[in-house]
Structure 1
């Protein structure tokens, strides 16, 4: 038997191959992100051109003279070809220029920075509620498949996933605020507490904790608990359903039977081994659910007069403020892409096989 000598050049190629593979994977990820963002900007650009709203009239008003109209028309770049307009639009977005809001007379990016923390606070608390209650509910339903526990939990999840969220919000306001008075009303705070706590993060719960103003903290809790619970119920329904599905798949695997044969307690088998493997795909579910709440809490914010991004986009759309609508849409898209990337990173971090 003869040995084959490996030349130094071959050794260098072999040693460099893992690095090259990582660079290629990183290139694929960056390309997919850029392609997604480019598609997002292209769609929002088309929306601005298809909408039956004249952007010039939104700026100068309907009583403006023809000379003023023409000057604004050229200043907005609408006299140039669509391809040129699109690349101007992409450049403006890259540089953070979303234009001025005709509704607030402020830069759109400044408005979004002001309202987005309210949406982030609401969606984060709702996701925490959905995860803390949804995962145990899904596990219990899977372990008791076909029994009354499973039927009740599946009904609760189906109800939360099927009922219109605005209807649940209105009923919740009627019962818990209007009739029982257990929670605060619409808005983030009672009117006499507004602007007392200095804004550090834009999230009132955190800002009030920073200055240790417990009166405002508990007032903010009373206002956020109902909308967060309703959004959390929606998240709970989705997470529990996916957890049950993943758990049923894992409970039928051979390693579960082996663990039981070895004499491990049922608690360790279910909550450590089966749930440990379920958490890997469940991370993606949780992150996507969080992204959905960040972009899909429009109706909840409108019903509860929550001054977040969804409410801002809705008011802008009703006022034909297309700069604000498109700016908000782009930000939502960026958040969704970023959270998708985060889920991929967490997936590879938790599961060594994915590395």
Structure 2
């Protein structure tokens, strides 16, 4: 038989029994996916390990300090395992990571995993709200630009997007703070919460997820919730502007391609309303490649929010890794790098799944 499934001999309409060929094909796909995932993770571990060996900073000095004696230096070097051959160090490093041991951060004196659990939800909040803002403004902007190609709405949208690509994020963040916080007083200052609300959050809010907004809402601490949202608006708007510029540009490109297709002409000839042609047929097909753009934009915001977090004193993973890098705290730097790399892998997997859901041809 050539079919992957065969009918139940009890008659039509009965359950179909998967054939051995269909099962073997599915098993090969699963095995291929697991193998590629394992290779990717192994490559990520290898790269982060080599980074720690290539960077011209001495992690031993970061532990013992500049005034340590040679004996103290050598003792710390042995304790850190840096006296062993590189292959042995790598095997030990992989084993520690697989057991969840990312070492202790010299900067905070806490396990790196605990620091990441504390800081990463703040970065997730910032990147998520910025991506939502980029989607809400970028997709309609790209559609309008494609529909009015070459006319003034398209020119305005393209100029706004060009400015988003051109302006450095740290400069835009400083200008936003100067105007909306320093001059107009519309936004709260840098940081995640005001001092009083931070005290309330530390002692009165139950930590369910690590997200200030979610935990304060679930705990009914609405003063903390409102203050957290107020602090989030300005940095999320700065990051969202760059996300919007990228998404609108790619949406415009995909829409121009779809609007030139024959099925769009046929739909118009049949009398399909123009709004349906644009927002249902053309945008529906443009969403297939646009999903990958949105997911990669989200991943880049998770990785590239370092400058925004620094300008706004946002206690996220980017600021944590930056401070650790200046302090030569390699355990913290490598732990943060691993988390960001793992998020890229997860988001790429999510992109493939969403791609198959939206486009049945990819299943």
Shorter-chain TM range is over 0.9
Matched residues in 1 for 2:335 and 2:222: separation? Answer: 35
Worse-matched range after superposition: 304-313 or 47-56: 47-56
- Partner in structure 2 of residue 65 of structure 1: 69
- Partner in structure 1 of residue 173 of structure 2: 169
Matched residues in 2 for 1:223 and 1:333: separation? Answer: 27
- Partner in structure 1 of residue 52 of structure 2: 48
Q: Are positions 1:260 and 2:264 aligned together?
A: no
* Structure 2 alignment gaps of length 5 or more: 7-17
Q: Are positions 1:124 and 2:118 aligned together?
A: no
- Partner in structure 2 of residue 145 of structure 1: 149
- Partner in structure 1 of residue 345 of structure 2: 337
Q: Are positions 1:185 and 2:185 aligned together?
A: no
Matched residues in 2 for 1:247 and 1:21: separation? Answer: 36
**Which residue of 251, 264, 270 corresponds with 2:259?**
251
| CA contact 2:197–2:223 (8 Å) conserved in 1 | no
- Partner in structure 2 of residue 283 of structure 1: 291
- CA deviation map 1:149-193 (0-9, x unaligned): 001001111110221111110110111111001111100111111
Shift of 1:21: 2.1
**Which residue of 179, 192, 202 corresponds with 2:210?**
202
Matched residues in 1 for 2:47 and 2:115: separation? Answer: 22
Q: Are positions 1:320 and 2:328 aligned together?
A: yes
Shift of 1:335: 0.6
**Which residue of 219, 223, 238 corresponds with 1:230?**
238
Q: Are positions 1:32 and 2:40 aligned together?
A: no
- Partner in structure 1 of residue 96 of structure 2: 92
- CA deviation map 1:13-38 (0-9, x unaligned): x9322322222222222222222222
Q: Secondary structure at the match of 2:114?
A: helix
- Partner in structure 1 of residue 281 of structure 2: 273
Shift of 1:65: 3.0
Matched residues in 1 for 2:45 and 2:137: separation? Answer: 37
- CA deviation map 1:175-215 (0-9, x unaligned): 11110011111001111110413132222222222133332
Matched residues in 1 for 2:302 and 2:97: separation? Answer: 21
Matched residues in 1 for 2:294 and 2:23: separation? Answer: 31
The number of equivalent residue pairs is 347
Shift of 1:66: 3.0
**Which residue of 87, 94, 109 corresponds with 1:83?**
87
**Which residue of 115, 121, 127 corresponds with 1:111?**
115
- Partner in structure 1 of residue 137 of structure 2: 133
Shift of 1:225: 0.3
Q: Are positions 1:308 and 2:308 aligned together?
A: no
Q: TM-score, structure 2 length as denominator?
A: 0.92
Matched residues in 1 for 2:246 and 2:236: separation? Answer: 15
Q: TM-score, structure 1 length as denominator?
A: 0.94
Matched residues in 1 for 2:255 and 2:138: separation? Answer: 13
Matched residues in 2 for 1:90 and 1:347: separation? Answer: 32
* Structure 1 stretches of 4+ moved >4 Å: none
* Structure 1 alignment gaps of length 5 or more: 1-5
Shift of 1:90: 1.2
Worse-matched range after superposition: 31-40 or 76-85: 31-40
Matched residues in 1 for 2:290 and 2:24: separation? Answer: 30
Matched residues in 2 for 1:301 and 1:339: separation? Answer: 22
Shift of 1:232: 0.5
Shift of 1:95: 1.1
Worse-matched range after superposition: 16-25 or 165-174: 16-25
